Amino acid sequence: MMQKKLLNLGLLILLVTGCKLSAFNQGSAANEDSVSQTGKTETAFNSINAEPAATPKPAPQTRQANAVCFDPAKPCQHSEKEFDVWELSFKLPAKLKANKPYHSAPFYAVILKTYTMDDDCDGGEYIEAVEKDRRREQKDQLERKVFASYECPNMSAVNYEFEGKWDTAKERLVIGNFIALYAGETKEAGEETLRLMKNEYPKAMLKRMTAIVEKIEQ
């Protein structure tokens, strides 16, 4: 009789323990589901309130002897060519030969805005209104150079060659005064930069360019 009572007591303990474990497991599952739902809600909230993508930082350039110095905080310097603040600088040989053009490595740039050829060079070697636009855009572009091209009297100016700058007969300049943003070494990087700049500059154009410097002596 005593053994039977002990057996019944053991079965009762097992039954009560099992019920408690079942309730605990159900509570844990509910908590996990609650945590999962909270995580989904937070993810959705963060997605909605995420800041718009900024212009990506350009990839490091290959170490070419004539590589472009696209970082606005670290322009190239040269004893025989002082790059103006609106110019895109690039690496030059230690000694420049007179009347010989020096070309930069090819790069992609987004022409943000063009200006008429009739604009007066009221800054001497630059157009004040255009330079104001360039400086304003440069404040938003901390990782890459915003440069300008001016059809003003300046024999030491950096020139930029690209398809579409001249008419088909190479007799008339089509794009002379402009501001542009360095966009990288590859077409893919250039297209991504163009996509990001199109909202602000609907007429922006992607061009593969070469910068040219020539030490002119007469």
Encode pLDDT of 98-118 as tens digits: 999 999 999 999 999 999 988
In a domain, 210, yes or no: yes
Residue-level pLDDT at 117: 87
The answer to whether position 83 is within a domain reads no
In a domain, 62, yes or no: no
Question: Is the domain of 42 the same as that of 135?
Answer: no
State the DSSP code for 193.
Answer: H
Place of tokens 């001249």: 166
Ranges in the chain, pLDDT < 70: 1-62
Encode pLDDT of 156-185 as tens digits: 999 999 999 999 888 899 999 999 999 999
User: Total domain count for the chain?
Assistant: 2
Q: Are residues 44 and 107 in the same domain?
A: no
Q: Is residue 176 part of a domain?
A: yes
* Residue 62, pLDDT score: 58
State the pLDDT at residue 36.
44
Query: Do 121 and 205 belong to one domain?
Result: yes
Range of the domain at 31: 1-50
In a domain, 58, yes or no: no
- The whole model's pTM is what? 0.72
Residues 200 and 115 both lie in one domain: yes
- Whether 61 is covered by a domain: the verdict is no
Answer yes or no: is 93 within a domain.
no
Backbone angles phi, psi at 110, to 5 degrees: -100, 115
Same domain, 36 and 114: no
Q: Is residue 66 part of a domain?
A: no
Burial category of 71 from C-beta neighbours within 10 Å (exposed 0-12, middle 13-18, buried 19 and up): middle
